[in-house]
Amino acid sequence: MRTAVLMLSLLLLLGGCKKGNGDNKTEKKSETTTDVDRLHGTWSIKSFAFGKKKPMPIKGKMIFDKKTKGFATVVMGRKRVGTKWWVEGNTLHMQSRRIDKMTFKLEGKTLTLTGRGSTMVLEKQSDKADVTPAKTRLLGELESVLNKLQKGSYRYFSKSWPDKSGTPQPCQFPASVDWTPKGLACDQPKKQFPGGSEEWKAPIWQGVLFMLSSPHKLQVRVTTKGIGNGSTSTLEVRTDRDCDGKFEVRRRVLTGVATPPKNLLNCRVTSSPMTVQNAGE
C-alpha cells in the first residue's frame, strides 16, 4: 500500500507539462554539455522518499532524451508522464505543474535527485533513450481509441433500434466489420492513414459515433456474435509502428445483458479486461 502511495506521489510530482511562453524564466537554458550527455539514457528508479522518511524501493524508470528538445518520460507501470528537461549547473529542470527544478548528483551510474522535500535514487540501465515521445503518445492513443469504441458500443446496445416498419428490435451490438481503414498504414503516403476517410461514414461507425479524424497509424475491427442476452462483441485496435509486419493489438470483449425472451428491456453491457498482444511492436 505504501509503495502504491509513493508511485502516485511521484507521478503527481512530475505529472503534466506547463504551457510555457517566451517570458518564462525557466526557458533560459545554460546547459552543461557533459552532464546532459551523461543524463541521456534510461534510468531505473531504485528508491523514493519524502523528507527524512526511510526510502522505499519502487519500480519505475525515467528516460532522458536530449535529441528531442530535452523530452523526459517517467514510466510507472502503465502510466507515462512526459515533461521537458534541461540542465543549469547542478540543477536539473523538469518543466511540470508541481516542480521546476531538482538538484542532481551523478556518481558513476547512480543519479540522486533532490527537490521539494523528496529524494529519488536512480541507476543507469542504458545509454539509449528507449521510449520516444511519439511512441509514448501512441501507447496511450491505442487504449484511448479502444475506450471510445467501447463507449459507442455501450450506447448502441442499450438502445432498442426499430426496423423499417418501426417495430422495436432486440438489444444488439453493431454488425461485424473487418479492419478499418482497409489496407496497411505502412503502404500509405507518409506511412499513415489520412484522417476522416469515407469509410467512417458506414452505418456501423455512424451508429457508434466513431471515427478517426486525424492522420493515424491505427486500424479497428468489430466482431459480433448473437443478439440480445449473451451476445458478444470483440473490439480490437492495432498498429504496426515500425512497419515490420508485426502488429500490437489491444482487445476487449463486451457481453450483452438483456431480459429474455424478447431482449428489449434492461439492456446493459459488461466488459472483459483489456488484453495486449505483441506489446511494443
Q: What is the CATH number of the domain that holds 66?
A: 2.40.128.280
* Residue 46 sits in the same domain as residue 93: yes
Strand, helix or coil at 8? helix
Among 78, 100, 126, the domain boundary falls at 126
**Exposure of 193 in the CB half-sphere (CA atoms within 13 A):** 26
Summarised one tens digit per residue, pLDDT across range 24-44 is 343 334 444 456 777 888 888
Distance CA 19, CA 141 (A): 21
Asked if 6 contacts 59 with a C-beta cutoff of 8 angstroms, the reply is no
At 281, is the pLDDT very low, low, confident or very high (cuts 50, 70, 90)?
A: low
| pLDDT for the residue numbered 175 | 92
pTM, entire model: 0.53
* Residue 114 sits in the same domain as residue 138: no
Asked if 2 contacts 56 with a C-beta cutoff of 8 angstroms, the reply is yes
* Residue 66 sits in the same domain as residue 156: no
Q: Which domain holds residue 172?
A: 133-277
| pLDDT for the residue numbered 11 | 45
Q: What is the mean pLDDT of residues 60-75?
A: 69
Burial tier of 85 (Cβ tally within 10 Å: 0-12, 13-18, 19+):
buried
Question: Per mean pLDDT, which of 51-55, 68-72, 175-179 is the most reliable?
Answer: 175-179
* Residue 95 sits in the same domain as residue 185: no
* Residue 96 sits in the same domain as residue 208: no
Question: What total number of domains does the chain contain?
Answer: 2
Among 91, 126, 161, the domain boundary falls at 126
